Structure 1
């Protein structure tokens, strides 16, 4: 499987942020977009996730010998600042997410098994999301791509808010799933 970017362009006013971006990402690998703040990493992610319109160019997904334009449903986007419904508990939110994505999920897995993967304990699962640390909110976002299994996973500064142990767990998880996904993360530090 491949994600092919061809001539992606984006400018804000007269400031050209992305200029004719051409690249091919392959499943089985983990890619890092390294650049200073303001370099255009998040802009590229927002274009791929259809949250921002590009000024030119296209993104295609090649899978099983077929080509199609990338759609937001092909992507799971882990934001640097998590956007989650803080009035729900982690459990309520993930249950809701599983209900609306039942056509994509592994029907043999229970919700508790998913929480175990990212090591959110029983007590914390039933706390309001607004009480979660930034790292726990990031883990919830990551749980969404574990459940929905999209072709493309975009992680915007995913490790900056995680403690060392959790960051190692996330890296291990990404290595385990990379064969069936295209994984791209952005960072300004390595």
Structure 2
């Protein structure tokens, strides 16, 4: 179980996370949504111990950040990741899995095949497309077999059928582990509607409603609403407005 209590984070005078408290169960899929700049990535970076909180606390299965035991609990798929271009895909996966005692290395070849990486696994990562780089990280994340997978905008850059396949992989592994996804993709929200969290004004709240209602709520967020008003004023035809 992930427990977050009174978390705070500011950058200069800008309070990004404001006394945020939340909890996540140890299985299932949770999706975090919110407008750009609402603090989603900052929250994940604190959860994965890449950023230090200004206040409050985080516990994963009772373990606080800073120890190897804490780091071994999760695999983080960031939106802006660095991969060693000189390694082949296969070498990278083998190296990453060697860092996790929970790894199921025998699953890696099957995942490579599923994600159409078998032919490219012996090529250097510097030759990979953006989508292939995401796929190789997904292989490592699932084969690492950690208790928690935390993913930030993982579906961007994947083609539609691959996105659907990865969703099903996440659904399958979520029967025994927790998957937390930050995503703006409508089909992700449609696939995992059971636990939607809305990030707004530095807090994280449970959203109770349909995906359509969630879209309406997001459209009412201040910055987006102002932009939508500009679109309506300058780009919609008079006939449509009437």
> TM-score, normalised on structure 2?
0.70
Q: Name the CA shift for 1:168/1:53 in 2 (closer, same or farther; >3 Å).
A: same
Taking only aligned residues, the RMSD between alpha carbons, in angstroms, comes to: 1.7
Pairs within 5 Å for 1:45-84: 45-62=44-61, 67-70=62-65, 71-84=70-83
Out of 113, 116, 120, the position equivalent to 1:116 is: 113
3-state SS of the aligned residue for 1:54?
coil
Which residue in 2 is equivalent to 1:186?
182
Corresponding residue for residue 134 of structure 1: 130
1:94 & 1:29 partners in 2: Cα distance?
25
Unaligned runs of 5+ in 2: 187-242
Between 1:3-12 and 1:78-87, the stretch displaced more is: 78-87
Alpha-carbon distance in structure 2 between the residues aligned to 1:125 and 1:106 = 18
Q: Is the 8 A contact 1:82 1:137 kept in 2?
A: no
Match of 1:93 in 2: 92
For structure 1, the residue ranges without an aligned partner over 5 or more in a row are: none
Name the TM-score, length of structure 1 as normaliser: 0.88
- Say which of 82, 103, 106 aligns to 1:105: 103
- Asked if structure 2 preserves the Cα contact closer than 8 Å seen for 1:82 and 1:141, the reply is no
> Which piece of structure 1 moves more, 73-82 or 172-181?
73-82
The Cα of 1:6 is off from its aligned counterpart by 0.8
Q: C-alpha displacement at 1:11, in angstroms? A: 0.5
Asked whether the equivalents of residues 37 and 188 of structure 1 are also in contact (C-alpha less than 8 Å), the reply is no
Partner of 2:218: none
Higher strand share: 1
Q: Classify 1:161/1:174 alpha carbon distance in 2 versus 1 (closer, same or farther; 3 Å).
A: same
Structure 1 position 145 matched with structure 2 position 144: no
Q: Is the 8 A contact 1:94 1:144 kept in 2?
A: yes
1:118 and 1:96 map into 2 onto residues whose CA distance is: 19
Q: Which residue of structure 1 lines up, in the alignment, with residue 167 of structure 2?
A: 171
Structure number with greater Rg is 2
In the alignment, which residue of structure 1 is the partner of 2:43?
44
Aligned-pair CA distance for 1:94: 1.4
Specify whether residues 111 and 30 from structure 1 end up closer, same or farther in structure 2 by C-alpha distance, changes over 3 A only.
closer
Distance, in Å, in 2 between the alignment partners of 1:8 and 1:112 is 40
